[in-house]
């Protein structure tokens, strides 16, 4: 016999759908939520409802937004001729926190991954090409992760743009030793990449 009432058991099942949450963590979270005197259950429930009702994808860059256009696409101070291509909305957050991009974004919502059956049509790649064809974009910065899928998607984007002879400069974010990192702890691929793409220091 299950000593937990059904609604609690249901909540545990729902929490188990979250990444990295198993039976034990879900039970701990559910009991914590129930034991919270500041109505965490109610607040969280309302918050989830609002999110699922109001959050949509921006029709231009496919970032998350609760407005007709996302806040970045709406911003007149951004340069629309530069488009930075990323895998996920969280990558936009990471790049925005660096305050280093004055252009706009394009969120692919995935990467091409033949092994997982994800082709170019399954992510927002056709939308990227359409966007590049229609608008006067001068540079596409491909900022997918330096992984097998990220590199593969980068090469695929390059090929698509070159095939269509779009007048767009393509660039790839730099790969190398992260700031504060130590050479002795880096893997060989990163070291090889850091050496290969070394910057030449020009003297005036």
| 30-59 residues near its own copies, rule: CB under 8 A | 30-36, 38-52, 54-55
Exposed/middle/buried for 170, CB within 10 Å: 0-12, 13-18, 19+?
middle
Instruction: Candidates 89-97, 125-133, 150-158, 175-183: pick the segment binding its own copies (CB under 8 A).
Output: 89-97
Query: Are 82 and 135 contacting, i.e. CB atoms less than 8 angstroms apart?
Result: no
Exactly one of 72, 82, 108, 141 binds its own copies (CB under 8 A); which one?
Answer: 72
Minimum CB distance to its own copies, residue 11 (Å): 5
Half-sphere exposure in the Cβ direction for 63 (13 Å, CA): 23
Closest CB to its own copies among residues 98, 179: 98
Closest CB to its own copies among residues 53, 203: 53
Closest CB to its own copies among residues 45, 133: 45
Tokens of 140: 């596409």
| Binding flag, residue 90, its own copies (CB under 8 A) | yes
Exactly one of 26, 62, 65, 112 binds its own copies (CB under 8 A); which one?
Answer: 65
Ramachandran class of 168: left when φ > 0, alpha when ψ lies in -120 to 50, beta otherwise: beta
Exactly one of 22, 59, 66, 147 binds its own copies (CB under 8 A); which one?
Answer: 66
Minimum CB distance to its own copies, residue 14 (Å): 5
What single string gives the DSSP state of each residue in 129-177? Answer: HHHHHHS---EEEE---SSHHHHHHHHHHHHHHHHTT-S-EEEE---SP
Closest CB to its own copies among residues 3, 180: 3
What single string gives the DSSP state of each residue in 177-203? Answer: PPTT--GGGS-HHHHHHHHHTPPP---
Residues making contact with its own copies (CB under 8 A): 1-8, 10-11, 14-15, 17-19, 27-36, 38-52, 54-55, 63-67, 70-72, 75, 88-90, 92-93, 96, 109
């Amino acid at each position: 016999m299950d000593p937990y009432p059904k609604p609690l058991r249901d909540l545990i099942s729902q929490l188990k759908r979250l990444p990295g949450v198993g039976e034990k963590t879900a039970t701990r979270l559910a009991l914590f939520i129930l034991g919270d005197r500041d109505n965490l259950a109610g607040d969280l429930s309302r918050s989830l409802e609002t999110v699922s009702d109001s959050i949509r994808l921006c029709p231009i860059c496919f970032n998350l937004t609760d407005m007709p256009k996302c806040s970045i696409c709406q911003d007149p101070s951004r340069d629309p001729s530069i488009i930075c291509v990323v895998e996920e909305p969280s990558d936009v957050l990471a790049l925005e926190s660096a305050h280093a991009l004055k252009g706009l974004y394009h969120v692919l919502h995935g990467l091409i991954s033949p092994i997982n059956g994800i082709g170019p049509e399954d992510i927002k790649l056709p939308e990227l090409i359409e966007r590049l064809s229609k608008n006067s974009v001068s540079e596409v910065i491909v900022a997918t992760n330096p992984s097998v899928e990220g590199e593969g998607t980068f090469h695929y984007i390059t090929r698509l743009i070159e095939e269509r002879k779009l007048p767009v400069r393509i660039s790839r974010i730099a790969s190398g030793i992260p700031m504060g990192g130590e050479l002795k702890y880096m893997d060989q691929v990163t070291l090889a990449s850091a050496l290969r793409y070394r910057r030449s220091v020009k003297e005036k």
